[in-house]
């Protein structure tokens, strides 16, 4: 393919650098604003080019040395070559532009990005890929755009230290496990107490693997609970130890609040950055402005991460979640924390909204935290007549789409706060408030 010289002007959602070449927009991964780069064109369309970096002719003055020795090979990070303040600047610009362009959100409604207290060592969960190459076990993550495992050596610098200790223990243990060639992934999670759970994913040999892991407990001192999953949707078989992790929500998260301890079971969802998760909860509680009289609906509620802190200042909370084990966690969390005004249901969120609208149910506040694809029934939330909607999102583009839909159905965006849950990457969480016009 052709080689071109491109001056990189900015960064884009997805992580690539943006410039112009031959009158077209040009996107090049692992380039920084201010780079003059020689690139090789790998894809050409009528309006844009995609390229790969061949040579930095003039490196950007912004560039710093990445912390990870396999950065650019591993597909996990995109921006380790940028100082953290510059990453925040770029994320803020991308987020604001996306909401303005797709959602027609006025730029002055977007607040500065809430920085992560830790820009490394923040992740509480990782999915470690496993393969065997030349007779040696490789642990790491997939190379960008492939299923080739890049070994991360001593560990991932984004992961909390207990996760890297767990990975090192599995590196030593894996060669002794039965049917090693069938093991393709180990999920590692840690609670804010430092306890860890591991889930070994294998294409077969479940019983033998469970038995061997049970006997290997002493070889995994950092692992408090171990499980095996066989097949694509295999049930988790316990080898040993604990079945859930937990994290604390401090009493000062909102006025008239109290400390909560929230659990999530093995394989369940939790935010990967505990300290920034508290920023999400704190913002949602502050913007909710509850007085104790309100009825609240929490869609995609998970283990009650937002529902239960909100319930402390609401009259009633209804949480909806499609993943039954998370609802079991939410119910257990309500009981363990003495919260009696929160109820939870297993249901598809869109179907639940339609049922509630059909029954002419009304809520003062709707909170939603959908997956990356956004909220299927966003426009239909207006049928519940909430005075306020608080939308937590992990994808600016689908958020902007849903905000446009809500604003076309009687709501307006009053403020939006991007929250950097994922330093060194282009990913971004956010909280957006809408009020009924």
How far apart CA 27 and CA 145 sit, in angstroms, is 15
How far apart CA 99 and CA 101 sit, in angstroms, is 6
Residue 16, SS3?
Answer: coil
Q: What is the pLDDT of residues 236-285, one digit of tens each?
A: 999 999 999 999 999 999 888 899 999 999 988 899 999 999 999 999 99
pLDDT at 415 over 90: yes
Split at pLDDT 50, 70, 90, the class of 235 is confident
207: domain CATH number is: 2.40.50.1070
pTM: 0.95
In a domain, 81, yes or no: no
Helices (H) and strands (E) in the chain, counts: 8, 21
Average pLDDT over residues 402-426: 97
In a domain, 83, yes or no: no
In a domain, 72, yes or no: no
211, 256: one domain: no
Res 135: pLDDT: 85
Q: What is the pLDDT of residues 144-164, one digit of tens each?
A: 888 899 999 999 999 999 999
How far apart CA 62 and CA 31 sit, in angstroms, is 11
**Is the distance from CB of 367 to CB of 298 less than 8 angstroms?**
yes
Q: What is the pLDDT of residues 101-114, one digit of tens each?
A: 999 999 999 999 99
Q: Find the domain containing 224 and state its range.
A: 125-241
384, 307: one domain: yes
131, 108: one domain: no
Mean pLDDT of all residues belonging to the chain? 95
Split at pLDDT 50, 70, 90, the class of 231 is confident
Res 144: pLDDT: 83
pLDDT at 405 over 90: yes
214, 348: one domain: no
17: domain CATH number is: 2.40.50.140
Q: What is the pLDDT of residues 338-393, one digit of tens each?
A: 999 999 999 999 999 999 999 999 999 999 999 999 999 999 999 999 999 999 99
Average pLDDT over residues 48-57: 95
The count of domains in the chain is 3
pLDDT at 233 over 80: no
Res 269: pLDDT: 87
Sign of CA dihedral 376, 378, 383, 384: positive
108, 134: one domain: no
In a domain, 33, yes or no: yes
**Ordered DSSP codes for 48-106:** EEEEEEEEEEE--TT----S-TTBTTBSS-S-TTS-HHHHHHHHHHHHHHHHHHHH---
Two structure tokens written together for 105: 């959100």
167, 279: one domain: no
364, 254: one domain: yes
How far apart CA 358 and CA 351 sit, in angstroms, is 11
310, 428: one domain: yes
137, 226: one domain: yes
Res 206: pLDDT: 82
In the chain, % of residues over pLDDT 90:
92
In a domain, 383, yes or no: yes
139, 169: one domain: yes
Res 24: pLDDT: 92
In a domain, 75, yes or no: no
Catalytic positions: 394
324, 190: one domain: no
Res 217: pLDDT: 96
Average pLDDT over residues 304-327: 97
In a domain, 331, yes or no: yes
Split at pLDDT 50, 70, 90, the class of 214 is very high
In a domain, 307, yes or no: yes
317: domain CATH number is: 3.40.50.150
Res 205: pLDDT: 79
CA-nearest of 366, 355, 348 to 411 is 366
140, 284: one domain: no
Q: What is the pLDDT of residues 3-39, one digit of tens each?
A: 999 999 999 999 999 999 988 999 999 999 999 999 9
CA-nearest of 381, 379, 350, 351 to 366 is 381
Least confident residue range of 59-68, 187-196, 250-259: 250-259
């Amino acid at each position: 393919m052709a080689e071109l010289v491109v001056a990189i002007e900015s960064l884009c959602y997805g992580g690539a650098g943006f410039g112009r070449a031959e009158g077209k927009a040009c996107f090049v991964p692992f380039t920084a604003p201010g780079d003059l780069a020689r690139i090789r064109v790998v894809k050409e369309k009528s309006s844009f080019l995609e390229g790969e970096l061949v040579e930095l002719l003039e490196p950007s003055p912004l560039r710093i040395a990445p912390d990870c020795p396999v950065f650019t090979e591993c597909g996990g990070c995109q921006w380790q070559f940028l100082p953290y303040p510059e990453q925040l600047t770029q994320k803020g610009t991308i987020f604001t532009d996306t909401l303005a362009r797709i959602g027609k959100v006025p730029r002055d409604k977007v607040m500065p990005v809430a920085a992560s207290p830790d820009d490394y060592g923040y992740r509480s969960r990782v999915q470690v890929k496993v393969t065997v190459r030349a007779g040696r076990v490789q642990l790491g993550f997939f190379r960008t755009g492939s299923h080739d495992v890049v070994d991360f050596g001593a560990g991932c610098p984004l992961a909390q230290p207990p996760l890297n200790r767990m990975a090192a223990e599995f590196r030593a243990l894996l060669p002794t496990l039965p049917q090693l060639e069938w093991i393709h992934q180990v999920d590692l999670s840690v609670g804010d107490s430092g306890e860890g759970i591991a889930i070994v994913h294998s294409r077969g040999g479940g019983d033998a693997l469970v038995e061997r892991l049970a006997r290997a407990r002493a070889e995994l001192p950092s692992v408090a609970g171990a499980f095996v999953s066989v097949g694509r949707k295999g049930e988790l078989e316990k080898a040993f130890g604990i079945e859930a992790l937990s994290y604390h929500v401090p009493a000062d998260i909102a006025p008239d609040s109290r400390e909560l301890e929230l659990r999530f079971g093995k394989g369940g969802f939790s935010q990967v950055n505990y300290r920034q998760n508290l920023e999400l909860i704190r913002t949602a509680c502050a913007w909710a402005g509850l007085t104790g009289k309100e009825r609240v609906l929490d869609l995609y509620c998970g283990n009650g991460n937002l529902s239960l802190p909100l319930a402390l200042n609401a009259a009633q909370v209804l949480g909806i979640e499609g993943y039954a084990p998370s609802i079991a966690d939410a119910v257990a969390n309500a009981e363990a924390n003495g919260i009696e005004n929160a109820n939870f249901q297993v249901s598809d969120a869109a179907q639940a909204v339609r049922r509630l609208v059909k029954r002419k149910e009304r809520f003062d506040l709707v909170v939603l935290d959908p997956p990356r694809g956004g909220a299927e029934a966003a426009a239909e939330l207006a049928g519940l007549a909430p005075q306020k909607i608080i939308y937590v999102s992990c994808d600016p583009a689908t958020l902007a789409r849903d905000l446009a839909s809500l604003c076309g159905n009687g709501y307006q965006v009053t403020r939006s706060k991007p929250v950097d849950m994922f330093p060194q990457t282009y990913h971004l969480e956010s909280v957006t408030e809408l009020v009924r016009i």
